[in-house]
Amino acid sequence: MNNLQEVWSKRFNHYMNEVQKYMRFVFTGHLALVFVFVLGALGYQYSEWLEAVDDTFPAEWVVASVVGFIMALSRPVTLLREPDQVYLLPLESKMPFYFKKALTYTLWSQIGLVVILYLVAVPLLRTVTELSSSQIWLILIVIIILKYLNVHIEFNYRYANRGGNLLIDRIARMFLSILAIESALTLSYSFVIILLVLLIAYNSALAKKVKEQPIPYEHFVKAEQNRMMGFYRFANYFTDVPHLHGSIRRRNWLNFVYNLVPYSQKSAQSYLVYRTFIRTDDHFYLWVRLTAISAIVALFVNIPMITWIVAAALAFATTIQLKYALLSSGDFRMDRLYPIEPNQRNQAVRKVLRLFMVIQAVIVMLCSIGQPLFFIPALIIIAVSEATYVMTKDPSVETE
């Protein structure tokens, strides 16, 4: 393990295997179909909007703001682990080689999103501005340089300041990046050069400060753990992540929902499932996110067929994931000590899902009210949810 090239290679391979293992559950067949239809619908809406967009539309500022904001979020991917605080200390003088590998991967893993956002905006820039093809490609080079600087500045800032006041650094870089991109889009190249020089000088000052300080292993390990936990939480919306334990919140503002459960022994499971669903972040935010996606598509995509397909696919995804999550819990529960019939929990889960899927249907219907047959998405959501619950197997039965 004295060879840092070997250390990085092993960790990178493990990391990529971990990402691929869970991403194959994210991009399943039905979700891929949803993405295809949504992207197609958004592309159609975008092209229709470009035909009607006014020449006074501030395209330069909009593109610069979106790209600059994303560009400023340049969290380094170090793949450091907690034991490294001890075992890599003897190799601290050689760690710049390791961090060079980490920053190279960080740049290539994050630059794609920035480039895609800019390329998506190219038709808008061609419509509103008078930029030539060569100028558009030159601006893309400026964006790549800005992203390179943002990645290295954030790493050096974290290193030099142990992650303290990181928000201030990001706001400053975002402001400078937005100004640089807007200046490039308006062909103010002299101002672009001044801003690039400022960023380079800022990075150089941080790099000098880095050489005077020991490696902040604790901060980088914590940042890496938080980054991976974010990925696992995302993957947990699509499949079960064994080592991920969701946090619990009271959500007092939803206490009125419990009043829907009658006060009786037969309703014990219903009350328990209601509280489990509402208070568990993984369950509750899964429903919120998928409902929000359906609502946004219904609100902005004025193609009824696309809205119906997306509503059906996400209703299926919501129901099957929440059913599995609420029925397959392996934790010990106090209700197992009481003489309650085994099928009561299944019935309780069905009641909870039925209520919240009706709420999802109403929200989507209200967002699609400007479309013909605006009530159809609500009917589709309810029908797909009921069919999904009936036709899928009970995970609690399979494990017995």
CB atoms closer than 10 angstroms to residue 243: 5
Tell whether 241 is covered by a domain. Answer: no
pLDDT > 70? residue 396: no
When divided into structural domains, the chain yields a total of 2
Angle between helices 268-279 and 304-327 in degrees, nearest 10: 120
CA distance 105 to 190: 31
Tell whether 375 is covered by a domain. Answer: yes
pLDDT > 60? residue 6: yes
pLDDT band at 399 (very low <50, low <70, confident <90, very high): very low
CA distance 63 to 265: 59
Kindly state whether residues 155 and 287 are assigned to the same domain.
no
Supply the pLDDT for residue 301: 79
Kindly state whether residues 311 and 175 are assigned to the same domain.
no
Tell me the backbone φ, ψ of residue 249, rounded to 5 degrees.
-130, 145
Average pLDDT, the chain: 85
Report whether 368 contacts 294 (CB < 8 A).
no
DSSP state of 262: -
pLDDT > 50? residue 299: yes
pLDDT > 70? residue 238: no
Tell whether 247 is covered by a domain. Answer: no
DSSP 60-116: HHHHHHHHHHHHH---------TTHHHHTGGGGGGHHHHHHHHHHHHHHHHHHHHHH
Which of the listed residues 180, 206, 235 is the one where a domain comes to its end?
235
Measuring CA to CA, which residue among 270, 294, 317 is closest to residue 376?
Answer: 294
pLDDT > 50? residue 397: no
Find the angle CA(157)-CA(162)-CA(167) to the nearest 5 degrees.
60
Kindly state whether residues 136 and 205 are assigned to the same domain.
yes
Average pLDDT of span 217-243: 82
pLDDT band at 86 (very low <50, low <70, confident <90, very high): confident
CA distance 170 to 161: 13
Kindly state whether residues 280 and 176 are assigned to the same domain.
no
Which of the listed residues 210, 235, 260 is the one where a domain comes to its end?
235
Burial 28-53 (b: 16+ CB within 10 A, else e): eeebeebeebbeebbeeeeeeeeeee
Tell me the backbone φ, ψ of residue 56, rounded to 5 degrees.
-85, 0
Kindly state whether residues 18 and 70 are assigned to the same domain.
yes
Question: 132: alpha, beta or left, given left = phi > 0 and alpha = psi -120 to 50?
Answer: beta
CA distance 269 to 346: 9
Tell whether 355 is covered by a domain. Answer: yes
Kindly state whether residues 23 and 165 are assigned to the same domain.
yes
Report whether 363 contacts 295 (CB < 8 A).
yes
Supply the pLDDT for residue 175: 96
Structure tokens at 268: 């014990």
Digit-coded pLDDT (tens) for 190-202: 999 999 999 999 9
Tell whether 240 is covered by a domain. Answer: no
pLDDT band at 1 (very low <50, low <70, confident <90, very high): very low
In which residue are the tokens 């600087």 written? 149
Kindly state whether residues 158 and 256 are assigned to the same domain.
no
Supply the pLDDT for residue 398: 44
**DSSP H helical ranges for the chain:** 4-26, 29-52, 59-72, 84-87, 95-128, 133-161, 166-185, 189-211, 217-236, 268-279, 281-300, 304-327, 343-367, 376-391, 395-398
User: Which amino acid makes up residue 242?
Assistant: P
Kindly state whether residues 201 and 260 are assigned to the same domain.
no
Least confident of 108-122, 241-255, 291-305: 241-255
Comparison of pLDDT for 33 and 183, the residue scoring more: 183
Q: Rounded to whole angstroms, what are the CA distances from 1 to 6, 8, 103, 315?
A: 7, 10, 21, 49
Supply the pLDDT for residue 364: 92
Kindly state whether residues 15 and 70 are assigned to the same domain.
yes
Question: 347: alpha, beta or left, given left = phi > 0 and alpha = psi -120 to 50?
Answer: alpha
Tell whether 244 is covered by a domain. Answer: no
pLDDT band at 348 (very low <50, low <70, confident <90, very high): confident
CA distance 319 to 363: 16
Kindly state whether residues 71 and 166 are assigned to the same domain.
yes
CA distance 291 to 359: 9
pLDDT band at 271 (very low <50, low <70, confident <90, very high): confident
Percent of the chain with pLDDT over 90: 42
pLDDT > 90? residue 351: no
CA distance 12 to 35: 28
Percent of the chain with pLDDT over 70: 89
Average pLDDT of span 150-169: 93
Report whether 195 contacts 183 (CB < 8 A).
yes
Kindly state whether residues 348 and 216 are assigned to the same domain.
no
Domain range for 19: 4-37+46-235
Structure tokens at 91: 């190799």
Which of the listed residues 201, 235, 269 is the one where a domain comes to its end?
235
pLDDT band at 273 (very low <50, low <70, confident <90, very high): confident
Kindly state whether residues 221 and 369 are assigned to the same domain.
no
Tell whether 298 is covered by a domain. Answer: yes
Average pLDDT of span 224-233: 86
CA distance 1 to 9: 11
Digit-coded pLDDT (tens) for 31-62: 667 677 778 878 888 888 888 888 888 999 99
User: Which pTM does this prediction carry?
Assistant: 0.75
Tell whether 177 is covered by a domain. Answer: yes
pLDDT > 80? residue 383: yes
